[in-house]
Structure 1
């Protein structure tokens, strides 16, 4: 360690220490003599060398410290001799300096440790810097990955939406196919109830009994052709339709034939519809239906024209018709009840317009007066 300027190490005592202090004159004389040190044979020189060695072993403050220390300096005269004797007889007191400890280290710095302390400090700072760099690198890497994932999600939003739509559609289609397959072959969808609607003249229980051969069949596999063949045996049924109501019910809607008139028969009267199918047979004439007197078979042109005219009449006019006479499809005549008023209708063409014209002519004449109305040409009706 560098000594303060102007202070040199004094020469050792010239004589063996005896516990008594030397005269101050001798001490000063030896200090002024300029000798570099006492003789090797001098016991005082040995004490000085021991003192120098102890001073070198003492802890020294680091370079550039805020509170540097110096080695013990002997005082001139008796004080120097006394100090020299004391140094030979008693252990030297060590000067302890409180130095800042290196971060992360448990021991203080000592003499000759300037280079070691700097190296250790640099090593610790390097280690701390490396750890901080690794930590920041990990954080930057994680942040970069998060940003990349967000960018990927942003740029693939439409693709993911289309993928989800296709996935949902595929699942729906597969589910629908699976439902159809399960419904077609699973006993959970087996037919257990047949419900009849629209039957008035036909007994619904009789129809259900006729269709009970379909019971136990899965709803998608119900044979409509078989139902049609069964219902065709009922002449009063004109048409039908079916509706499946999962899981176990089928609804059969019936459209019955509508009778339009009577046809005389050997047993009495047959109530027939527009196609000439017998709906009901009775021995007596039922009220409300006109008697159809046509040329040819019930399915011939004259019968078809007569039935078409009857269906075009309003309910109030139809109730007044007693007979419908048709020799051909262009010669249809209506005969009213009472005094026998007649209406020459002609063909079945423009029947709705002819019915409107006839409804306006009837109030103009007394119903008890025999009148013949001719509406075969509805734009120029005549009566006589």
Structure 2
């Protein structure tokens, strides 16, 4: 990817770095919007917690579900949330106790419906596949660049997706290091196991680069922005896929002072997902999977580094991924220009 200003000045590929950083800063949600979202999260989570406490009867709360400790993750806290995006998620961690007549966790959709029912008045709660979207009218005069939607004469809104996670409490009070989270990529609401400690370690390493010349958050935002240019794509590549590919690039290439090089390298190598597959077995080892689980295999393949038994692209087919590979190669072509690839001047 190269740069071009107007139709005259053409700048080499290395010079795109500063434009990637500038574009990411324009796309990133501002501090006012972040504050509004944090206030929303706190108010809604407190209402859900209080609602669960009021459900004392066994019939209303057979799993003895309760609010657990704070677990701050997702795009809002990784600083990769984008203005005008419907992809801003926050995790609601809940404790549960096993029912005597069951062997697994509560049904994922039941948990989503429970959360939806406990969202306080003043908010609109919409059930999605893996989350509950919560929105409210916003009357503040925040900049037009915030995370607001205004169509015709409709009121402006601010919204986020609440994604539940479950932690099982054993009879002795101990809790497993593996939690249940709703799959980011499967079509219906299904639980998968993830280890929050492993996930935190992975993204903490990336977040240390924030604000530096090799800022990983700027790279993730621009990759998501590139993806969003294709309105009629055969499938959508989940944001978490790009985050994992960025993590892999930083791990393999710890020193790199040009985000354009990383951007091109990640897109050039995207085809590995549906040709050779991307495995982290040798990188992460057996500790990064639940007990008795085997590492994910097959093609297409992109293992989740925080749980190598899970394939992040198992729901996508090779033909659709090949389409994305073709677009990625065009974007990484040295003859491509910044404004053509990212639709920005």
- Taking structure 1 as the reference length, the TM-score comes to 0.18
**Greater relative CO, 1 or 2 (CA 8 Å, sep 6+):** 2
Q: Which one has a bigger Cα radius of gyration? A: 1
- Taking structure 2 as the reference length, the TM-score comes to 0.20
